[in-house]
């Protein structure tokens, strides 16, 4: 996917957020309205921050730093496949404890959890997924911000649904008042259900100790000598 396509999707996500905010402010009142607006502002800021933040890009330099910290007492041997570097195996006293795949594009050995993103064309530390709606990868650095964004979105959606359901339901007719009420109610339910399911999915992965990429992608067979 090219950068223009990703920017369009990121812009579309902001447009959806604006629409949800506009619908919410059309019927929420009192102190709840101020809370909803504050949450909306935080949401927009997080979208911009996550989209612009380095998710944990690994260069040759900081890849070596990772390895020097994690495996300073280990020795390693290079694994080859048809005389080409395929990875390396860390050993201690002759026992293999860890192995890494070599990224030919970036020219680095990828630490555990690191994946190469085709859209960004970079290796990302603890990569979870590439979010086209935020136009950025979700990795080691911006993952907490991403989870905060989902949690705030769930709270905003809950406010929309609860506040709308607390109001008297008008008779379903083709009047402007009736149509607006049921459109906003349906929108609130759909938005909240989708975001809540997404948030629940990532929370479940956290409890299991997986990234979404590691959970969804079949495990590759390790290279042998």
Catalytic residue IDs: 131
CB atoms within 10 A of CB 7: 12
- Through-space distance between the first and last CA atoms of the chain, rounded to whole angstroms: 35
Phi, psi of 8 (to 5 degrees): -65, -40
How would DSSP label each residue in 172-199? --SSHHHHHHHHHHHHHHHHHHHHHHHH
Nearest-10 crossing angle of helices 143-166, 30-52: 160
Q: Report the SS3 class of residue 106.
A: coil
């Amino acid at each position: 996917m090219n950068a223009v396509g990703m920017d369009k999707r990121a812009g579309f996500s902001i447009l959806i957020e604006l629409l949800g905010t506009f619908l919410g402010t059309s019927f929420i009142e009192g102190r709840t309205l101020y809370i909803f607006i504050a949450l909306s502002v935080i949401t927009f800021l997080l979208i911009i921050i996550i989209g612009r933040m380095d998710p944990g890009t690994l260069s040759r330099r900081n890849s070596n730093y990772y390895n020097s910290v994690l495996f300073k007492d280990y020795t390693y041997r290079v694994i080859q496949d048809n005389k080409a570097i395929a990875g390396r195996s860390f050993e201690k006293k002759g026992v293999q404890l860890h192995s890494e795949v070599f990224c030919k594009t970036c020219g680095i050995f990828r630490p555990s959890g690191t994946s190469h993103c085709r859209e960004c064309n970079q290796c990302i530390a603890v990569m979870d997924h590439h979010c086209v709606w935020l136009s950025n990868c979700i990795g080691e650095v911006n993952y907490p911000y991403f989870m905060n964004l989902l949690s705030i979105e769930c709270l905003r959606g809950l406010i929309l649904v609860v506040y709308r359901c607390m109001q008297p339901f008008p008779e379903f007719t083709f009047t402007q008042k009736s149509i607006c009420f049921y459109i906003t109610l349906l929108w609130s339910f759909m938005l909240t259900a989708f975001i809540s399911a997404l948030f629940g999915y990532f929370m479940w992965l956290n409890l299991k100790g997986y990234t979404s990429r590691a959970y969804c992608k079949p495990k590759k067979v390790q290279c042998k000598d």
